[in-house]
């Protein structure tokens, strides 16, 4: 038992735990922020996984052509947006089932990315590291939060902007009303499905950016297994966070902690069964949801399609 | 009366037209993709047909691949009838296969009887794994879309753990040579028969799949249980009010769908053949059969009988893909074709739905 506590202590005092944790959390947060917006509008698009992968791939190809990380990030957003457009048009214009569309898109993007990756083989590299003076000297978390590759820093304004968009603009108010009571929103002149489509576009753009961040801020190259099911952890973070932005980010941090714990415990030389350790992030996500999913209130119309005249 | 039947006929025509157009659209898109990356689409089609049907022994292989896909799809249809979205078949299949392996050796009864036990324990394993998701849903309110999916990774790792310990699944050293993480091979008399028809080995699992598809199709459309399940899927609140316990029927449907996935895993294990290894469990045993089976169910649109031909087509894409590599085009093009096909097939019913509503609206305005 004392060995176990010692291990926990070592992990908590090791700087690399926080650096890895921040990287994982940032990646999840890019996707979860957009997904949170989409869910507040009443859509549960599980194509986040596909959006992340698509964004990662288009940004890698973009860098291969232009050799500019900034343009690659923008192209990553476009890549996520393409998936979002298909998802939004099919589920909120054509009224196909949103889960079915999302699932199919995930599988299609996975196939496409694998196929095109083998054909094109884009070459990429990590973006430059920017250390923010003073802040990066903070103990333990300083380097994790303020000495990262620069795409990392796009996350901070993104979160603030998202909060402002949803809570301080008319568009955001309409968006939330569409998620809570689409019938009333419709009667008061809001185009319900249009708002929902827009919310999915937003999720596509942020997830695409997240995919690009993964390539240029964390991994440095593209492969088709790069996302590896973490898009679903991002969705779980939104639910875990009770559909608040604060909670969503907290969920990202906790789930990322589990991912980082897994790396650290091996990095510090502790012998733990690797199979069980690999499933740890998913287990933590499941347990987290089992504890919190019950206590929070979802947007009332979450995952319910809106067709005028049908309730 | 005449107007009605005329209307009916034109509707069928519309359906056919829409579906043909979407399938052609998906195929043309795939062809464009092949051409755009410097390939030629004609040899790819030819290779797909060679690999799935024309070469000796290949259609038997395709049938053998279709069988577990069909089983997974049937299960998925049951749960989606009840309005539940189970997307963890890949994990349920793997856990089912692990259960089948473990209890198959634990019991070790005489040949044919043990095969039945293996299949049953496979189903139980899959059902239990889906049962975890059912428990989380009805007890803790965790959406099954996420829990079933997260359990895929957990299941994979748990079985891999089992495969690293001799007292669980790992074969004793004498049986596995230098290989790590394999289970003992099933004894000859513990395997499903593979009778030879016209030079093709046709696994017995195909028959099981088709029979179960018919049974499930009848059960869903003709029994009280099926009716209650459909009611639950269409309108949970109305179902609850009229005495269909959401928890019982919902959890039952979810576990049943997991059971079918587990059965598919056991059938792959005991059915063997070129596609599914050597009658033994290894990590990565499920090889995407769960995912593809799920796609089959999506395309079949909740009709178990339609799933039979769809499973065959998707199995053909899979068995054909191993021949595509020789044409110089990346074999994963079949994944793309599959995805595009499924996406394209979602469009016609949605378009029809909107058209119907527009027509009804127009009619209603006329009356006013």
Per-residue pLDDT band for A271 (boundaries 50, 70, 90) equals low
Structural domain boundaries of chain B? 56-304
Query: Would the CB atoms of A105 and B343 count as touching at under 8 Å?
Result: yes
Distance from CA of B114 to the nearest CA of A (A): 30
Per-residue pLDDT band for A310 (boundaries 50, 70, 90) equals low
Which of the four CATH numbers 1.10.3470, 3.60.21, 3.30.750, 1.10.405 does domain B56-304 have? 1.10.3470
A273 touches chain B (CB under 8 A): yes
Distance from CA of B124 to the nearest CA of A (A): 22
Chain A residues touching residue B294 (CB < 8 angstroms): 103
How many percent of chain A have pLDDT more than 70?
Answer: 97
Q: What is the mean pLDDT of chain A?
A: 89
pTM score: 0.90
Q: Which residue in B38, B145, B339 is closest to A99 by CB distance? A: B145
- Distant-in-sequence, close-in-space partners of A119: CB < 8 Å, separation ≥ 6: B37, B38, B330
- Over the stretch B128-177, which tens digit does the pLDDT of each residue have? 999 999 999 999 888 888 899 889 989 988 998 888 887 887 877 777 77
Q: Is the model more confident about A108 or about A266?
A: A108
Query: Would the CB atoms of B140 and A236 count as touching at under 8 Å?
Result: no
Mutual angle of helices B111-140 and A280-292, in 10-degree steps: 50
Query: Would the CB atoms of B332 and A232 count as touching at under 8 Å?
Result: no
A266 touches chain B (CB under 8 A): no
Please state, in angstroms and rounded to a whole number, the distance separating the CA atoms of residues B225 and B17. 35
A296 touches chain B (CB under 8 A): no
With CA atoms as reference, the chain A residue closest to B39 would be A119
Is residue B197 helix, strand or coil? strand
**A35, A286, A302, A304: best to mutate for the B interface, most B CBs within 10 A:** A286
Query: Would the CB atoms of A114 and B153 count as touching at under 8 Å?
Result: no
Query: β-strands A129-131, B196-197: how paired?
Result: unpaired
Query: Would the CB atoms of A119 and B141 count as touching at under 8 Å?
Result: no
Distance from CA of A87 to the nearest CA of B (A): 10
- Over the stretch B182-211, which tens digit does the pLDDT of each residue have? 888 887 777 887 777 777 778 888 999 999
With CA atoms as reference, the chain B residue closest to A228 would be B153
**A43, A90, A94: best to mutate for the B interface, most B CBs within 10 A:** A94
Query: What residues 145-164 of chain A have any CB closer than 8 A to a CB of chain B?
Result: none
Please state, in angstroms and rounded to a whole number, the distance separating the CA atoms of residues B345 and A111. 18
Please state, in angstroms and rounded to a whole number, the distance separating the CA atoms of residues A191 and A19. 43
- Over the stretch A280-304, which tens digit does the pLDDT of each residue have? 888 888 898 888 877 788 888 888 8
With CA atoms as reference, the chain A residue closest to B84 would be A99
Any idea which fold A6-122+146-292 has? ABC transporter involved in vitamin B12 uptake, BtuC (1.10.3470)
Q: Which residue in B37, B85, B354 is closest to A95 by CB distance? A: B354
- Interval B347-353 mean pLDDT: 87
Q: What pLDDT was estimated at residue A289?
A: 85
Q: What ranges make up the beta strands (E) of chain A?
A: 129-131, 147-149
* A215, A60 Cβ separation under 8 angstroms: yes
Give the number of C-alpha atoms closer than 13 A to the C-alpha of residue B62, restricted to the C-beta side. 28
Please state, in angstroms and rounded to a whole number, the distance separating the CA atoms of residues B262 and A103. 21
* A41, A195 Cβ separation under 8 angstroms: yes
Q: Which residue in A95, A114, A275 is closest to B332 by CB distance? A: A114
The count of CB pairs under 8 A between chains A and B is: 137
**B39, B139, B141, B238: best to mutate for the A interface, most A CBs within 10 A:** B141
Cα A15 to chain centroid distance, Å, stands at 24
- Over the stretch A152-199, which tens digit does the pLDDT of each residue have? 999 999 999 999 999 999 999 999 999 999 999 999 999 999 999 999
Q: What pLDDT was estimated at residue A194?
A: 95
- Over the stretch A122-157, which tens digit does the pLDDT of each residue have? 888 888 888 888 888 887 777 888 888 999 999 999
Chain B residues touching residue A235 (CB < 8 angstroms): 146
Query: Would the CB atoms of A290 and B140 count as touching at under 8 Å?
Result: yes
Residue B1 has pLDDT above 50, yes or no: no
Question: What's the alpha-carbon Rg for chain B, to the nearest Å?
Answer: 22
User: ipTM of the assembly?
Assistant: 0.86
With CA atoms as reference, the chain B residue closest to A279 would be B154
Q: What pLDDT was estimated at residue B55?
A: 84
């Amino acid at each position: 038992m004392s060995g176990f506590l010692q291990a926990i202590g070592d992990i908590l005092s090791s700087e690399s735990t926080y650096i890895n944790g921040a990287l994982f959390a940032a990646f999840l947060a890019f996707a979860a922020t957009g997904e949170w917006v989409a869910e507040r509008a009443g859509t549960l698009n599980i194509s986040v996984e596909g959006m992340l992968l698509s964004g990662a791939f288009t940004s890698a190809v973009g860098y291969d052509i232009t050799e500019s990380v900034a343009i690659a990030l923008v192209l990553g957003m476009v890549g996520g947006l393409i998936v979002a457009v298909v998802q939004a048009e099919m589920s909120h214009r054509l009224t196909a089932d949103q889960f079915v569309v999302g699932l199919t898109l995930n599988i299609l993007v996975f196939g496409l990315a694998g196929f095109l990756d083998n054909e094109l083989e884009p070459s990429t590299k990590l973006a430059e590291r920017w250390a923010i003076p003073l802040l990066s000297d903070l103990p333990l978390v300083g380097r994790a939060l303020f000495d990262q590759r620069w795409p990392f820093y796009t996350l901070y304004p993104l979160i603030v902007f998202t909060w402002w968009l949803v809570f301080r603009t008319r568009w955001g108010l309409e968006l939330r009303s569409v998620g809570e009571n689409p019938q009333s929103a419709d009667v008061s002149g809001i185009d319900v499905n249009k708002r929902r489509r827009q919310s999915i576009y937003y999720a596509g753009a942020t997830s695409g950016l997240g995919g690009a961040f993964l390539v240029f801020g964390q991994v440095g190259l593209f492969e088709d297994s790069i996302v590896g099911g973490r898009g679903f952890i991002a969705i779980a973070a939104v639910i875990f966070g009770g559909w608040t932005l604060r909670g969503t980010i907290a969920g990202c941090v906790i789930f990322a902690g589990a991912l980082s714990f897994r790396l650290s415990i091996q990095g510090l030389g502790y012998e733990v069964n690797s199979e069980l350790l690999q499933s740890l992030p998913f287990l933590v996500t499941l347990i987290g949801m089992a504890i919190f999913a019950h206590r929070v209130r979802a947007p009332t119309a979450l995952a319910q399609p809106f067709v005028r005249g049908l309730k | 009366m005449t107007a009605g039947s005329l209307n009916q006929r034109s509707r069928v025509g519309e359906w056919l037209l829409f579906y043909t157009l979407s399938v052609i659209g998906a195929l043309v898109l795939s062809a464009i993709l092949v051409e755009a990356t410097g390939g030629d689409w004609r040899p790819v089609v030819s290779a797909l047909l060679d690999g799935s049907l024309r070469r000796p022994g290949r259609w038997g292989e395709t049938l053998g691949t279709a069988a577990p896909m069909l089983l997974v799809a049937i299960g998925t249809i049951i749960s989606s009838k009840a309005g539940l979205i189970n997307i963890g078949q890949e994990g349920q299949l793997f856990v089912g296969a692990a259960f089948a392996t473990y209890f198959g050796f634990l019991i070790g009864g005489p040949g044919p009887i043990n095969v039945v036990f293996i299949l049953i324990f496979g189903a139980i394993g899959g059902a239990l794994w889906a049962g975890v998701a059912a428990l989380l849903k009805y007890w803790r309110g965790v959406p099954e879309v996420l829990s079933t999916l997260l359990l895929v990774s957990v299941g994979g790792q748990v079985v891999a753990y089992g495969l690293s310990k001799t007292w669980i699944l790992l074969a004793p050293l004498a049986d596995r040579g230098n290989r790590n993480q394999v289970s003992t091979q099933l004894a000859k008399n513990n395997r499903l028969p593979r009778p030879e028809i016209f030079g093709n080995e046709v696994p017995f699992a195909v028959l099981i799949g088709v029979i179960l598809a018919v049974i499930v199709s009848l059960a869903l459309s003709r029994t009280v249980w099926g009716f209650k399940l459909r009611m639950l899927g269409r309108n949970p609140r109305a179902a609850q009010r009229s005495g269909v316990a959401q928890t019982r029927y919902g959890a039952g449907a979810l576990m049943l769908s997991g059971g079918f996935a587990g059965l598919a895993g056991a059938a792959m294990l005991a059915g063997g053949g070129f596609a599914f290894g050597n009658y033994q469990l290894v990590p990565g045993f499920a090889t995407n059969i769960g995912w593809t089976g799920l796609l089959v169910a999506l395309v079949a649109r909740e009709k178990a009988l339609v799933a039979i031909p769809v499973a065959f087509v998707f199995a053909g894409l899979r068995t054909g893909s191993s021949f595509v590599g020789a044409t110089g085009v990346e074999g994963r093009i079949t994944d793309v074709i599959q995805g595009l096909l499924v996406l394209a097939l979602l469009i016609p019913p949605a378009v029809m739905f909107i058209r119907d509503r527009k027509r009804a609206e127009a009619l209603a305005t006329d009356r006013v």
